[in-house]
Amino acid sequence: MKSLAVKATAVLLATGIGAGAAWSAESLQDVMKRRGLSQQDLMAAAKTYTPTGKRDEFLAFSSGGQSGQILVYGIPSMRILKYIGVFTPEPWQGYGYDEESKAVLRQGWIDGKEITWGDTHHPAISETQGQYDGQFLFINDKANPRLAVVDLRDFETKQIVVNPIYKSEHGGAFVTPDTDYVIEAAQYATPLENQKFYPLEEFNEKYRGGVTYWKFDRKAGRLDPSKSFSLELPPYSQDLSDAGKGPSDGWSFTNSFCSERYVGGIEKGRPPYEAGCSAKDTDYLHVVNWKKAAELVAQGKAKKINGHDVLMMETAVKEGILFLIPEPKSPHGVDVTPDGKFIIVAGKLDTHVSVYSFDKIQAAIKAGKFESKDPYGIPVIGMKDALHTQVPLGLGPLHTQFDAKQCVAYTSLYVDSQVAKWDFCEGKVLDKISVHYNIGHLMTMEGDSVDPKGRYLVALNKLSIDRFNPVGPLHPQNHQLIDISNDKMQLLYDMPLPLGEPHYVVAIEASKLKPGVRYKVGTNSRTDEPHPGKVRAGEERIERDGNKVTVYGTLIRSHITPETIEVEVGDEVTINLTNLERAQDETHGFAVSTYNVHASIEPGKSVSVKFKADKEGVYPYYCTEFCSALHLEMQGYLLVKPKGWKATTKEIAKAAYTESDYQTTLKKVVDTQAVIDSVVAFITSTNYKDFPDVVNMVEDATDQLGKAADAKSRHEAAAAKQDWEQANLWAEQVWQYQVKAADIGIRAKTYLEQNGAKKIQ
Ligand code: CUK
Ligand code: CUA
C-alpha cells in the first residue's frame, strides 16, 4: 500500500503545479451575456476581484454591532478574514471557554453580573502623531458602558474596562493624536453615583452626562483606570466625539441631542421623546480643553465619584476649559478635518452640514465673547462667531469622512440614501451617489486620521431591503464599496454582513500591520506573560492535590499528551495545554465532551480549561481543528471514576501483530524516506533561504523528523524482545513523523514553485 504522502508527492513531481489546466471554452463575451453583465459591472469586478494568492490593500475593522465582536475584512475584495471576540463569548477562538479569555470577559462584568453581549459602535486604531500606527484597536459597548483593547499583534482582546460613572455611552472610542487618551462620552444621562436613585422629576438637577478620557499606557498595551478621568457634563445626551489634531490638538469635541432635557412619558399622556427631544432648533457642541483638564485632575481638582476622578462642571467653567456652541438640529456626527482646522457637524433634521472654525472658536474664547450661558453656567459661543460655513447637502446628513485630496469630504445622507462629496473649504457640493439603503456611517481609508489615503469609501447602510437573496424577516447588513479615486464616485460591490448592525468601521493600509504567526512557546496570549501551566515536550504530567487535579499537557500533530486523564467524580480538573508547533497555521483545538470547555491553541500558545468533573462516566476529548491527516486520531479519554474505584487487574487488549507486519511497516518507512529525500533535494537545490516562510516550514519538518529518532530506538528495542505489537506500532509512529515532515516539505516545495524560486545548483 502506498502512503498518502508518497502518492501526493508522486503526483506533484510528475505534473508540476498549475500545468495543463483546461480553461473554460467560453469567451468573456459569452460569460457577460450568460450572466447579464454590463461593461460597468466588469469594470467594478476588475476593481475588486482579488485573485487567489493576492492580498488586499487595506484591512477594515468593523464594529459587529449587537454581536459584541469586531469583523475584519479586506478592501477592495471585501473578503471577511476574522471575527474578533470582544464583549461576547466566541467559541472558535475559545473566547469565554478557556480560563485566560474568561478572565478578560470577567473584567467586563458590571456590579458582579456577567454580561454576555455588547452593542459595539466605534472602533478606533491607535495613532502616532495623528497617523494610524497599526498597533492597537479600541471599541466601545454602548449598552453596557465599556471599552475594550485589542492588540493587533495577534488580533486578540486583552482588556475590557467598565466606565465607572455612566449607565450607557456612545461617543467612544476616539483616540487623541498620540493615543494618550481614548475618549468615551456618555449617552443617556443618569445619576453618576452607582446604584443611586433619583426620580425623573429631578432630571435637571441630579442626572448628568459626561466625557471620559481613558489614559492609554502604550508600553503595557492597556488602559490605566487609575490615571483616567471624566468631565461632568449637563444631561444633554452627549453623542459622538472627536479629538482635535494639529492646531486643535489638546481639545476635544462632543455633540449632543435632546439638550431640551425632555424625559418622555407617553404612557402618562405626555408627547413621546422624539417630539420633546427635537423641539428646539439647536443642540450643543461641547468644546473641551482636555490637556488642561488632565492638568487640573493632576493638581487634585477632581472629585471622586465611585472612586473615579471627575472634574465637575463648576470647576471646568471656573478654569475656562469647557464651552458650548449651538449646533443644528439633533446633530449626529462630529468630525475634525485632517488639518485640524475645522469641526464638521451634521444635523440629522437639518439639510446642512455646519463647518466650525477652530480659529474662530479660539478667538471668541480669548475675547470672552459669549452669547449666553446655559442653565449650568457654561459659556455659550454664538453660532455665527464660530461658523466657517454651512453647506446644504441633502436630507438627514449624519457622518463625515475625508479624502486624500485637500478640502474634500464625504457625508452620509440617511434620508436621501446618498453619499455627498463636497468641498469644506469652499463650501460646495462636488458629486452625489445613491446607496442602498439608508446609510449610517461611511468610511474612507484612514479617513479620520491626519493623512487620509482616499481610494475607497465604504457605505454602512442600515437597510438592505432588496439587495440580497431573502433569508427571512431579519435582513443582512450591507456594506457597499465605492471607488472615490475619480471625480465621479462609482459603486463597486455589495457585501452582506450577517452579524449584528455595524455602526462604524476603520480601515488601515495593510502594510502597516505586522501580526505574528506564532507565540513564544508557553505564552498566555491574554496577558502576554509566560503561562504558569506551560510545559515542554517530555515534561507532561498529571498532579493531584486533594480533590484538585492539574494536567500539564501538550499538543503537536497528531497527538495530545496525555491521552488518558483519570479523575474521581467531584474532582476539580484544570487542564493546561501548550501547542508545541512552530509551523504556521498549525492550530489545535481542545474540547471535552459535555463539560462546555473549548480552547483554540495556536502555535506556541498555552491555555487552561477548568471544570468540575461532577458526572461519573467516560468523556472523550479531542482536537477540534483539522490539523493533519491523523487529526481525527488526535483524541483521548477523560475517565471520571466513581469514588473508591479499584483499579482493574485486566490489561489493555494486545493486537496480534507479527514480525512480518513489522517488516512491512519498516519497508513503508524506507519508501517514505525516499520521498522526503527527493523533496529535500528539490528544496535545497533552490534559493529557499530567501523565503522566510519556507525556512520556517523546513525548520518544522526537520523538527518532526527529529522526533522519529526516539520512536526508532523504541521499535528496535521492542523488536529485539520480539514484542511485535510494540515494535510495529513504534515503527508506525516513525512513519507518522515522516508523513508530517513530508506534508510540510511538499507545502514548501509548492510554495517555492509558485513564488518563483530559482535553481542554485
Ligand atoms: S452611530 Cu450608529 S449610525 Cu453609534 Cu456612530 Cu451613527
Ligand atoms: Cu490537532 Cu486536529
Report the residue count for the chain.
Answer: 761
* Mean pLDDT score, 486-510: 97
State the CATH number of the domain containing residue 380: 2.130.10.10
pLDDT exceeds 50 at position 372? yes
Q: Determine the atom of ligand 1 nearest the C-alpha atom of 503.
A: 2
Residues linked to residue 323 through DSSP beta bridges, in sequence order: 287
Ligand in nearest proximity to the CA of 599: 2
- Whether 129 is in a domain gets the answer no
Whether residues 488 and 426 fall in one domain: yes
User: Helix count (H) and strand count (E) of the chain?
Assistant: 13, 44
- Whether 64 is in a domain gets the answer no
Query: Is 663 or 278 the better-scoring residue by pLDDT?
Result: 663
Is ligand 2 within 6 A of the CB of residue 627?
Answer: yes
State the CATH number of the domain containing residue 484: 2.40.10.480
Ligand 2 mean position to 102 CA, how many Å? 23
Is ligand 2 within 6 A of the CB of residue 393?
Answer: no
Secondary structure class of 661 (helix, strand, coil): helix
Secondary structure (H, E, C), 449-460: CCCCCEEEEEEE
* Mean pLDDT score, 383-409: 97
Whether residues 626 and 680 fall in one domain: no
Using one digit for the tens of pLDDT, what is the confidence trace for 280-326? Answer: 999 999 999 999 999 999 999 999 999 999 999 999 999 999 999 99
DSSP 8-state code for residue 268: G
Q: Which one, of 380, 317, 343, 118, lies nearest residue 241 by Cα?
A: 343
Alpha-carbon distance of 348 to 361, in angstroms, equals 23
Ligand 2 mean position to 590 CA, how many Å? 8
- Whether 130 is in a domain gets the answer no
Q: How confident is the model at residue 24 (pLDDT cuts 50, 70, 90)?
A: low
Q: Determine the atom of ligand 2 nearest the C-alpha atom of 586.
A: 1
Ligand in nearest proximity to the CA of 583: 2
Using one digit for the tens of pLDDT, what is the confidence trace for 582-591? Answer: 888 999 999 9
Whether residues 189 and 314 fall in one domain: yes
Ligand 1 mean position to 502 CA, how many Å? 9
Whether residues 539 and 491 fall in one domain: no
pLDDT exceeds 60 at position 374? yes
Q: Which of 63, 66, 121, 413 gets mutated to test ligand 1 (max ligand atoms within 8 A of its CB)?
A: 121
Q: How confident is the model at residue 703 (pLDDT cuts 50, 70, 90)?
A: confident
Whether residues 495 and 567 fall in one domain: no
Q: What percent of the chain has pLDDT over 90?
A: 89
Whether residues 611 and 667 fall in one domain: no
Contact 636, 565 (CB under 8 A): yes
Non-local CB neighbours of 474 within 8 Å, separated by 6+ positions: none
Whether residues 593 and 671 fall in one domain: no
Ligand in nearest proximity to the CA of 506: 1
* Mean pLDDT score, 130-140: 98
Q: Determine the atom of ligand 1 nearest the C-alpha atom of 332.
A: 6
Quote the pLDDT of residue 20. 45
- Whether 32 is in a domain gets the answer yes
Using one digit for the tens of pLDDT, what is the confidence trace for 657-699? Answer: 999 999 999 999 999 999 999 999 999 999 999 998 899 888 8
Q: 10 Å Cβ neighbour count for 642?
A: 10
* Mean pLDDT score, 732-758: 91
Calculate the average pLDDT of the chain. Answer: 94
Alpha-carbon distance of 422 to 604, in angstroms, equals 50
The backbone region for 398, taken as left when phi is positive above 0, alpha when psi lies in -120 to 50, beta otherwise, is alpha
pLDDT exceeds 50 at position 8? no
Can you state the percent helix, strand and coil of the chain, rounding each to 5?
Answer: 25, 35, 40
- Whether 126 is in a domain gets the answer no
- Whether 536 is in a domain gets the answer yes
Ligand 1 mean position to 688 CA, how many Å? 50
User: Which contiguous run of DSSP H or E holds residue 732?
Assistant: helix 724-754
Quote the pLDDT of residue 1. 43
Ligand in nearest proximity to the CA of 120: 1
pLDDT exceeds 50 at position 19? no
Is ligand 1 within 6 A of the CB of residue 441?
Answer: yes
Q: How confident is the model at residue 7 (pLDDT cuts 50, 70, 90)?
A: low
Choose the final residue of a domain: 500, 515, 548. 500
- Whether 298 is in a domain gets the answer yes
Ligand in nearest proximity to the CA of 66: 1
Using one digit for the tens of pLDDT, what is the confidence trace for 626-640? Answer: 999 899 999 999 999
Is ligand 2 within 6 A of the CB of residue 432?
Answer: no
Is ligand 2 within 6 A of the CB of residue 512?
Answer: no
Query: Is 158 or 646 the better-scoring residue by pLDDT?
Result: 158
Number of domains making up the chain:
5
Is ligand 1 within 6 A of the CB of residue 698?
Answer: no
Q: 10 Å Cβ neighbour count for 283?
A: 25
Whether residues 611 and 748 fall in one domain: no
- Dihedral sign of CA atoms 157, 160, 166, 168 in order: positive
Q: Determine the atom of ligand 2 nearest the C-alpha atom of 587.
A: 1
Choose the final residue of a domain: 48, 66, 81. 48
Quote the pLDDT of residue 25. 85
Is ligand 1 within 6 A of the CB of residue 398?
Answer: yes
Is ligand 2 within 6 A of the CB of residue 625?
Answer: yes
Nearest residue (by CA) to ligand 1, atom 1, is 503
Quote the pLDDT of residue 360. 98
Alpha-carbon distance of 70 to 86, in angstroms, equals 7
Whether residues 271 and 414 fall in one domain: no
Whether residues 290 and 255 fall in one domain: yes
Using one digit for the tens of pLDDT, what is the confidence trace for 48-69? Answer: 999 999 999 999 999 999 999 9
Q: Which one, of 148, 151, 285, 248, lies nearest residue 450 by Cα?
A: 248
Alpha-carbon distance of 493 to 467, in angstroms, equals 11
Using one digit for the tens of pLDDT, what is the confidence trace for 216-271? Answer: 999 999 999 999 999 999 999 999 999 999 999 999 999 999 999 999 999 999 99
Q: Cell numbers for 126, please give them.
A: 491607535
Quote the pLDDT of residue 486. 96
Ligand in nearest proximity to the CA of 333: 1
Contact 496, 467 (CB under 8 A): yes
Quote the pLDDT of residue 23. 57
Contact 72, 82 (CB under 8 A): yes
Quote the pLDDT of residue 13. 44
Quote the pLDDT of residue 162. 98
Whether residues 215 and 266 fall in one domain: yes
Is ligand 2 within 6 A of the CB of residue 623?
Answer: yes
Choose the final residue of a domain: 641, 672, 701. 641
pLDDT exceeds 90 at position 347? no
- Whether 79 is in a domain gets the answer no
Quote the pLDDT of residue 12. 43
pLDDT exceeds 50 at position 417? yes
Ligand 2 mean position to 588 CA, how many Å? 5
Is ligand 1 within 6 A of the CB of residue 348?
Answer: no
Sheet hosting strand 124-128, strand order edge to edge: 124-128, 131-141, 146-151, 156-162
Nearest residue (by CA) to ligand 1, atom 2, is 503
Nearest residue (by CA) to ligand 1, atom 3, is 440
User: Which contiguous run of DSSP H or E holds residue 411?
Assistant: strand 408-413
Q: Cell numbers for 736, please give them.
A: 507518522
State the CATH number of the domain containing residue 567: 2.60.40.420
Q: Domain residues for 185? A: 163-340+357-388
Q: Determine the atom of ligand 2 nearest the C-alpha atom of 631.
A: 2
Whether residues 379 and 239 fall in one domain: yes
